[in-house]
Amino acid sequence: MYPNLIQHIRKYVELDENDVLVLIKYIKLVSLKKKEFLLKEGQVCRSLYFVEKGCLRMFFINDKTVEQITQFALDNWWMSDYFSFMDNKPSDYYIQTVEKSEVLTIDVFSFEELLKELPQMERYFRIIMQRALAASQLKVKYMYELTKEEFYMHFCTSFPEFIQRIPQYMIASYLGLTPEYVSELRKKNF
Amino acid sequence: MYPNLIQHIRKYVELDENDVLVLIKYIKLVSLKKKEFLLKEGQVCRSLYFVEKGCLRMFFINDKTVEQITQFALDNWWMSDYFSFMDNKPSDYYIQTVEKSEVLTIDVFSFEELLKELPQMERYFRIIMQRALAASQLKVKYMYELTKEEFYMHFCTSFPEFIQRIPQYMIASYLGLTPEYVSELRKKNF
DNA sequence: TTTAAATATTAAGCTGGTTTAAGAAATCTG
DNA sequence: CAGATTTCTTAAACCAGCTTAATATTTAAA
């Protein structure tokens, strides 16, 4: 049950069979089709989401017309609007499946209970947050360092699995480019 | 001793007088003048830094000429290159004081020992990382959402204390603008 | 298999923000 | 206080990447 999550946790902390039984008390599995929503703007983000299988995207609506993607989560990634989750505030974001997905959810209350009952999960999430923070800082560095063309090329070579699975216009949005410009770059570079 | 750090920790977890004695075993105070370095490119970032008083900036060198600032840390902020710290890899960054500062440092080894001896610190750092991640995500959102002019104006109204303490050209760098363009914006907007 | 919807391409014109270069003002240092 | 250094301003030329608008292609649904 939830093999990817269990394995992921065990990369960072000890988790015996009993701990697993505790863990699964607090976790819910949600099976979703393509384009289903886990969160919409205005709702409080009440859960952390772990992608067992599939792909999520997080986006907000720019000047009320354009979807601006800020994150993707493929298999074995956590996703949440942490501000909304922590402070119980309405979110500015949507979280939606990009493809058919199996998502594990843990709500605020279960999260706190789980941390009490399995203190090593405090360490696990500390490490997860720390790694997510490092990744976020790296993305910001690339946004500063690279031209948009370089940013796109870098993304293509660094994350070829995204190029396979995610429509081009979504990648454009994630990188802060227009789809038209990505078209131009593809023509130019291949 | 270290009143700001102690108070900061107590905002999130319990810390009795004995715990404080344990904590200070692992922490070092460094007093620095303006423009002193805590980290230089190529070195491994071996510590987490907490600003008791003062101001730090984190930057890297762009195409070998221009300093690109990615973070500031004022009083009560933690700063580190988490990638370098976690994985023991040479950093791309410099960390330098912007003004005379009192900085608390905790190195990798002490960090692990501290977490063993005071497990509630695992929770404290989980929350700190979570908040830093939320802040980083919010910055990325603004970078997507706002024009450079709006980004600058938003920063000025949201963080007036930065405008007081930090030279204008550093703020320009942090926001990804040229100092010349900031000059133009100031003329235009006041 | 047809129709509709979603995704991708092409090309011309335009603009927000950079680059370059020079000088002015403020702040340090002895 | 004087000179050196750091920080800030001004203005013109320039360009990476966007906008607009029309068409083409792929995918999904009926």
Q: DSSP states of A160-177 as a string? A: HHHHHHS-HHHHHHHHT-
Q: What is the pLDDT of residue B189?
A: 77
**CA-based nearest distance A176→chain B, Å:** 7
pTM of the complete model: 0.91
Residue A86 falls within a domain, yes or no?
yes
Six-digit token string for A33: 């089709």
Q: Of B56, B45, B63, B50, which is closest to residue B9 (Cα–Cα)?
A: B50
Q: Is the CB of B149 under 7 A from strand C?
A: yes
Extract the residue ranges of chain A whose pLDDT is less than 50. none
Q: Where are the alpha helices (DSSP H) in chain B?
A: 3-10, 17-26, 82-87, 108-117, 120-145, 148-158, 160-165, 168-175, 179-189
Q: Where are the alpha helices (DSSP H) in A89-189?
A: 108-117, 120-145, 148-158, 160-165, 168-175, 179-189
Do A13 and A36 fall into the same domain? Answer: yes
Report chain C positions within 7 A of protein CB atoms. Answer: 6-12, 16-21
Do A167 and A97 fall into the same domain? Answer: no
Q: Is residue A141 classed exposed, middle or buried when 0-12, 13-18 and 19+ CB atoms within 10 A define those classes?
A: middle
Measured from the Cβ of residue B32, the count of other Cβ atoms closer than 10 Å reads 17
What letter would DSSP give residue A81?
-
Residues of chain B in contact with residue A144, where contact means CB-CB under 8 angstroms, are: 62, 68, 70, 176
Q: Rounded to an integer, what distance in angstroms lies between the CA atom of residue A140 and that of residue B137?
A: 10
Do A36 and A118 fall into the same domain? Answer: yes
**CA-based nearest distance A36→chain B, Å:** 22
Extract the residue ranges of chain B whose pLDDT is less than 50. none
Do A123 and A189 fall into the same domain? Answer: no
3-state secondary structure (DSSP) of residue A178: coil
Contact between A106 and A52 (Cβ < 8 Å): no
What letter would DSSP give residue B166?
S
Q: Which of residues 5-24 of A touch strand C (CB under 7 A)?
A: none
Do B37 and B113 fall into the same domain? Answer: yes
Where does a domain end: B96, B117, B136? B136
Angle (CA) B74 B76 B82, round 5°? 85
Phi, psi (degrees; rounded to nearest 5) at B85: -60, -45
Phi, psi (degrees; rounded to nearest 5) at A181: -70, -40
Residue B47 falls within a domain, yes or no?
yes
Six-digit token string for A162: 């995204």
Name which of A70, A122, A143 is nearest B141 (Cβ-Cβ): A70
Residue B95 falls within a domain, yes or no?
yes
Distance B143 CA to C10 C1' (A): 29
Do B47 and B97 fall into the same domain? Answer: yes
A90 residue type, one letter = P
For residue B57, what are the β-bridge partners? Answer: B72, B96
Residue A116 falls within a domain, yes or no?
yes
CB spacing of B68 vs A144 below 8 angstroms: yes
Six-digit token string for A120: 């090593």
For residue B69, what are the β-bridge partners? Answer: B59
Q: What is the pLDDT of residue B33?
A: 87
For residue B106, what are the β-bridge partners? Answer: B48
Six-digit token string for A135: 């990744």
Dihedral angle computed from the Cα positions of residues A66, B148, A82 and B27, in that order, rounded to the nearest 10 degrees = 160
Do A16 and A71 fall into the same domain? Answer: yes
List the CATH number of the domain containing B86: 2.60.120.10
Do A168 and A117 fall into the same domain? Answer: no
- Count residue pairs from A and B with Cβ separation < 8 A: 94
CB spacing of A133 vs B134 below 8 angstroms: no
Q: Is the CB of B161 under 7 A from strand C?
A: no
Angle (CA) A28 A17 A112, round 5°? 45
Q: What is the pLDDT of residue A2?
A: 87
Report chain D positions within 7 A of protein CB atoms. Answer: 6-12, 16-21
Average pLDDT value for chain A: 94
Residues of chain B in contact with residue A119, where contact means CB-CB under 8 angstroms, are: 119, 122
Residue B141 falls within a domain, yes or no?
no
Residue A141 falls within a domain, yes or no?
no
Residues of chain A whose C-beta is under 8 A from some C-beta in B? 60, 62, 68, 70-71, 81-83, 86, 92, 115, 119, 122-123, 125-126, 129-134, 136-141, 143-145, 176
Q: Is the CB of A183 under 7 A from strand C?
A: yes
Structural domain range at position A150: 146-190
Name which of A83, A131, A143 is nearest B134 (Cβ-Cβ): A83
Total of domains in chain B? 2
Do B95 and B163 fall into the same domain? Answer: no
Token pair 């396979």 in the structure block, residue: A164
Do B99 and B185 fall into the same domain? Answer: no
Distance A182 CA to C15 C1' (A): 19
Nucleotide nearest residue B35, measured CA to C1': D6
Name which of B68, B122, B133 is nearest A132 (Cβ-Cβ): B133
Do A34 and A100 fall into the same domain? Answer: yes
Do B43 and B112 fall into the same domain? Answer: yes
Angle (CA) B31 A133 A47, round 5°? 130
Q: Is the CB of A178 under 7 A from strand C?
A: no
